[in-house]
Amino acid sequence: MNAPDRYERFVVPEGTKKVSYERDTKIINAASFTIEREEHTIGNILRMQLHRDPNVLFAGYKLPHPLQYKIIVRIHTTSQSSPMQAYNQSINDLDRELDHLKSAFEAEMLKFSRDY
Amino acid sequence: MEGGVSYARMPRVKIRELKDDYAKFELRDTDASIANALRRVMIAEVPTVAIDLVEIEVNSSVLNDEFIAHRLGLIPLTSERAMSMRFSRDCDACDGDGQCEFCSVEFHLRVKCMTDQTLDVTSKDLYSSDPTVSPVDFSDPSATDSDNNRGIIIVKLRRGQELKLRAIARKGIGKDHAKWSPAATVTFMYEPEIHINEDLMETLTLEEKREWVDSSPTRVFEIDPVTQQVMVVDAEAYTYDDEVLKKAEAMGKPGLVEIIARQDSFIFTVESTGAVKASQLVLNAIEILKQKLDAVRLSEDTVEADDQFGELGAHMRGG
């Protein structure tokens, strides 16, 4: 009756941007990214990848409320970098890693079916 | 893009078992966040096709319409084509109606019992408008008896009873409804690293060794009958229950064994419902994860926002 539609959890509503950026007004090189309609799947890999960047001083994410279908990723970097740069870098690195994983799995599939 | 510095890893994969509905493989040189993301995507975000709308013309069976419709929705349908299909709500060919060839598949079921024998209506009685999307076949190819027609039973009909319906199957993901999940289950475990302290072990008598080995509910350790030494026979049987550690402590030998979960090695078990092959399920999950990453990239107008301070911004960044 008054339950929200299930697709609201993963369809970005019209007029809303998937990712928005908000600079921290108190700390230099700190910012928050709000990602709509995502949860721990993306948040966790993004955070862990950001931790591997030596220019990142702080990286964390949170789901503000279970009925607000978004995550807020907070990034604080050194002066050698910027939150936007670190964010883009982490996504590119994750993309590269997944490309490699896909190739490795496909190669292993071929090898396995040949040995069988 | 950013001038060559990269912190991407190079994961390694080794497949141990591979069947149509089951896969077991090792994933190394990555961390738990990637493994868990893959697991979550395989369970809830890889798209498949499932019956979503049922129009019942005739139903004189003992089950009511809603019950039969629910059972139809849970039948796994072969979904090799699902990745390239459109979601009904995004389809512009049928204006969101969800019944055109690009975003749906039509099924028909027409069965009437004409004999005194009870008639089983199964998933094999469903006729699809698209041969690539059909109920999953659970027959065992090696069996030859007539009981091998193992469709999923939808309802049983007695003499004179009839069932006639039309069903529309659509693309969806497990996050919306579990009927769209292609995975029966997906699990991964950390690979355990087990080190036995040989000096402490030598202070035990054979009887004490036997007692300690038997304290594990799964068979992880064994005593070599020749040398009387305790050795690890199956490290992966360890269930992280700490029983052998407690036993060692109770015997006054803390530190007898050290068991660490390796943080960069995972053993995946993927069991598919049959809608998608287990190997294809893993590849689809990687593809979906890449699509999600593309979706969360910063758009062009967001990047411009960072330049609002112009040279002051560059100065603040120390460049």
| One-letter-per-residue 3-state SS of A23-52 | ECCCCCCEEEEEEECCCHHHHHHHHHHHHC
In sequence order, the 6+-apart residues with CB closer than 8 A to the CB of B28 are B11, B12, B13, B14, B264, B265, B266
Instruction: Report d(CA B58, CA B104) in Å as an integer.
Output: 23
Q: Which of B27, B188, B280, B317 to mutate to test the interface with A (most CBs of A within 10 A)?
A: B317
The answer for B140, left when phi > 0, alpha when psi is -120 to 50, beta otherwise, is: beta
Q: Do B10 and A44 touch (CB under 8 A)?
A: no
pLDDT at B128: 94
Asked if B283's CB is within 8 angstroms of A82's CB, the reply is: no
Give me the pLDDT at residue B228, please.
Answer: 85
Q: Phi and psi for A106 in degrees, rounded to 5?
A: -65, -40
Within 8 A of B10 by CB-CB distance, chain A residues are: 97, 100
Q: Assess if residue A72 is contained within a domain.
A: yes
| Domain CATH for B132 | 2.170.120.12
Residues A13-40 have a mean pLDDT of 91
Residue B222 lies in a domain: no
Residue B1 lies in a domain: no
Residue ranges making up the domain that contains B150: 48-181
CB of A28 within 8 Å of a chain B CB? The answer is yes
User: How many domains are contained in chain B?
Assistant: 1
Secondary structure letter of residue A60 according to DSSP: E
Looking up tokens 């849970």, which residue turns up? Answer: B74
In this model, does residue A73 exceed pLDDT 80? yes
| Tens digit of each residue's pLDDT, chain B (319 residues) | 445 567 888 999 999 999 889 999 999 999 999 999 999 999 999 999 999 999 999 999 999 999 999 999 999 999 999 999 988 888 888 876 778 888 999 999 999 999 999 999 999 999 999 999 999 987 776 666 666 667 899 999 999 999 999 999 999 999 999 999 999 999 999 999 999 998 888 888 888 899 999 999 999 999 988 888 889 999 888 988 889 999 999 988 888 899 999 999 999 999 999 999 999 999 999 999 999 999 998 876 555 444 445 445 555 544 3
The Cβ-side half-sphere exposure at B284, using a 13 Å CA radius, reads: 28
Place of tokens 């027409």: B110
What is the pLDDT, as a whole number, of residue B143? 64
A13: which 2 tokens? 């509503």
Domain assignment of residue A3, yes or no: no
Note whether residue B69 is domain-resident. yes
Tell whether A76 is covered by a domain.
yes
Count of the separate structural domains present in chain A: 1
Contacts of A71 in chain B (CB under 8 A): none
Mutate to test the interface with B, among A105, A106, A111, A113 (most CBs of B within 10 A): A105
Determine the Cα–Cα distance for residues B106 and B219; give it in Å rounded to an integer. Answer: 51
Per the domain annotation, does A11 fall within a domain?
A: no
Task: With respect to residue B41, please indicate whether it lies within any of the assigned structural domains.
Answer: no
Of A48, A84, A88, the CB nearest to B33: A48
Instruction: Return the pLDDT at A64.
Output: 94
Of A46, A52, A102, the CB nearest to B286: A102
Q: Does B5 map to a domain? A: no
CB-nearest partner of B298 from A88, A100, A101 = A88
- Does any domain span residue A8? no
Tell me if B176 and A6 make a contact (CB, 8 A cut-off). Answer: yes
The distance of A25 to chain B (nearest Cα, Å) reads: 13
**Interface contact A8, partner B, CB < 8 A:** no
SS (H, E, C) B272-303: ECCCCCHHHHHHHHHHHHHHHHHHCCCCHHHH
Q: Is A49 buried (19+), middle (13-18) or exposed (0-12) by CB count in 10 A?
A: buried
pLDDT recorded at residue B306: 47
Q: Give the pLDDT confidence score for residue B1 in this predicted structure.
A: 40
Cβ pair A109:B305 closer than 8 A: no
Is B257 a domain residue? no
Question: CA-to-CA distance for B191 and B236, rounded, in angstroms?
Answer: 7
Q: Hey, are the CB atoms on A42 and B293 less than 8 Å from each other?
A: yes
Q: Does the CB of A104 have a partner CB in chain B at under 8 Å?
A: yes
Structural domain containing residue A72? 16-113
Tell me the shortest Cα–Cα distance from B205 to chain A, in angstroms. Answer: 45
**Minimum Cα–Cα distance from A36: chain B residue:** B296
Residue B137 has a pLDDT of 83
Cβ <8 Å between B11 and A100: yes
Contact of B69 with B56, CB cutoff 8 Å: yes
Would B85 be classed as within a structural domain? Answer: yes
* Among A60, A86, A56, CA closest to A73: A60
Q: How far apart are CA B215 and CA B248, in angstroms?
A: 9
CB contact under 8 Å between B37 and A84, yes or no, is: no
Average pLDDT over residues A25-53: 93
* CATH number of A85's domain: 3.30.1360.10
